[in-house]
Amino acid sequence: MSRRRITLADVARHAGVSGTTASLVLSGRGRELRISESVEHRVREAADELQYRPNIVSVGLRTGTTRTIGFVSDTVATSRLAGDMIKGALEAARDRGVMLFIGETEGETDLEQGLLRAMHDRQVDGIILASMFTRTVKVPTGLKTGPAVLLNSVPDRSAPLPSIVPDEVEAGRTAARVLLDAGHRAGIHLIGAGPGIHDVPRDALAGVERLTGIGEILDQAEVTVAGGHICSDWLPNQGYDATCSLLERERPRALICLNDRLAFGAYQALDAFGLKVPDDVSVVSFDDHPIATWVRPKLTTIALPHYELGRKAVDVLFAEIDRRRDDVEPDKETYRIPMSVRIRDSVRSPQ
């Protein structure tokens, strides 16, 4: 096909110097190692002219660093959430000249192991283990060797690792404040979880934390939640069913839906009962799924910061890589990324 790639040796020959000299110049250490200005210039010229690009595979073999990180998630396709997280990670990586391997485990341990091994075989500089919904995970052994970060999940006691999660408790507080600020004091119902703090779908750490935040603010205001309805999955039809069964019993003034898909179902149920959002019932929700702007009226929701989560994961990972290099003790902090509210048209004061 096209002719052979240009190597460092070609550049050196073209500039009439040794490979070492060319290497020194191009890795920017020419100055400190006393390469003369003229030689430095010659080498740079030659590299430019030949369009030299270092072969990263070779550098990887020699130095052990490949400017490559792995992004392993349990599911990439389930929702666009993953997409935004990957996008954030991708951009942060690009800023550093680093490439991203991606892999998907589908929650299966052996696939996960295989993937982590495949990545280590390729000498990745670090790994991001991402989860598609916030939860506690057992850290796989394959992660304990090199630099790693948990994204959207926190480690159980098995191993300390830095982790990045959305600040769900604060999001819960925000949601409650939105309703209080609008003047709601009664008839507030939860859709998807509650009323107890542990009435959440299995492993749904986000649920627990959102409820915690909600409860905290409502308690402070001495407002009590009128009721809650747990759903096993946070999907539209469950939101619909839960809301219907609520509406058969009583007339709520406000709904806090645990995510936007539930809220979408709730909209449908309210519509079926001839109730208007926000005149009859206010709705506030979580995630800022695209559908939140598609429904009428548009949904006020507390946004998951997927993009920022992805970016932050890369930042923390590189900090971790640096501390390992410098032999500093590893990070094990949990970074909470703020979730900001998107005020739209689904909340109004009662009356």
Partner DNA sequence: TCCTTTCAGTTATACGAATGCAAAGCCTGG
Partner DNA sequence: CCAGGCTTTGCATTCGTATAACTGAAAGGA
Catalog residues that contact its own copies under the rule CB under 8 A: 1-2, 53-58, 60-61, 66, 68, 76-80, 82-84, 86-87, 90-91, 94, 97, 99-104, 111, 114-115, 117-123, 144-146, 235-237, 240, 261, 264-265, 268, 271, 290-291, 294, 296, 307, 324
- Binding flag, residue 141, DNA (CB under 7 A): no
According to CB under 7 A, which one of 34, 157, 202, 249 is a site residue for DNA? Answer: 34
Alpha-carbon span 32 to 34, nearest angstrom: 6
Give min distance, CB of 331 to DNA, in A.
Answer: 25
Q: What does 79 interact with, of DNA, its own copies, none (CB < 5 to 8 A by kind)?
A: its own copies
φ, ψ for residue 286, nearest 5 deg: -130, 155
The amino acid that residue 326 corresponds to is: D
- Binding flag, residue 27, DNA (CB under 7 A): yes
**Residue 260 contacts residue 289 (beta carbons within 8 Å):** yes
According to CB under 7 A, which one of 20, 109, 141, 232 is a site residue for DNA? Answer: 20
Give min distance, CB of 113 to DNA, in A.
Answer: 19
- Binding flag, residue 17, DNA (CB under 7 A): yes
Nearest to 134 by CA among 158, 169, 174: 169
Pairing relationship of beta strands 188-192 and 227-230 according to DSSP bridges: parallel
Q: Name residues contacting DNA, limited to 289-348 (CB under 7 A).
A: none
Report the chain's C-alpha Rg in angstroms: 26
- Binding flag, residue 145, DNA (CB under 7 A): no
> Which CB sits closer to DNA, 19 or 183?
19
Q: What does 99 interact with, of DNA, its own copies, none (CB < 5 to 8 A by kind)?
A: its own copies
Give min distance, CB of 58 to its own copies, in A.
Answer: 5
Give min distance, CB of 61 to its own copies, in A.
Answer: 5
Alpha-carbon span 75 to 131, nearest angstrom: 8
Cβ-based burial of 245 (10 A; exposed 0-12, middle 13-18, buried ≥19): exposed
Nearest to 251 by CA among 198, 343, 200, 187: 187
- Binding flag, residue 19, DNA (CB under 7 A): yes
Q: What does 34 interact with, of DNA, its own copies, none (CB < 5 to 8 A by kind)?
A: DNA
**Residue 253 contacts residue 188 (beta carbons within 8 Å):** yes
> Which CB sits closer to its own copies, 16 or 107?
107
> What does DSSP assign to residue 139?
P
Detail the DSSP E strand segments found in the chain: 68-73, 99-104, 126-137, 148-155, 163-166, 188-192, 227-230, 254-257, 282-287, 300-303, 334-337, 341-342
- Binding flag, residue 26, DNA (CB under 7 A): yes
Give min distance, CB of 115 to DNA, in A.
Answer: 19
- Binding flag, residue 152, DNA (CB under 7 A): no
- Binding flag, residue 59, DNA (CB under 7 A): yes
Alpha-carbon span 279 to 286, nearest angstrom: 20
**Residue 350 contacts residue 281 (beta carbons within 8 Å):** no
Give min distance, CB of 22 to DNA, in A.
Answer: 8
Alpha-carbon span 39 to 23, nearest angstrom: 12
Q: What does 27 interact with, of DNA, its own copies, none (CB < 5 to 8 A by kind)?
A: DNA
Give me the residues that bind DNA (CB under 7 A), please: 4-5, 7-9, 16-21, 23-24, 26-27, 29, 33-36, 38-39, 52, 54-55, 58-59, 61-63
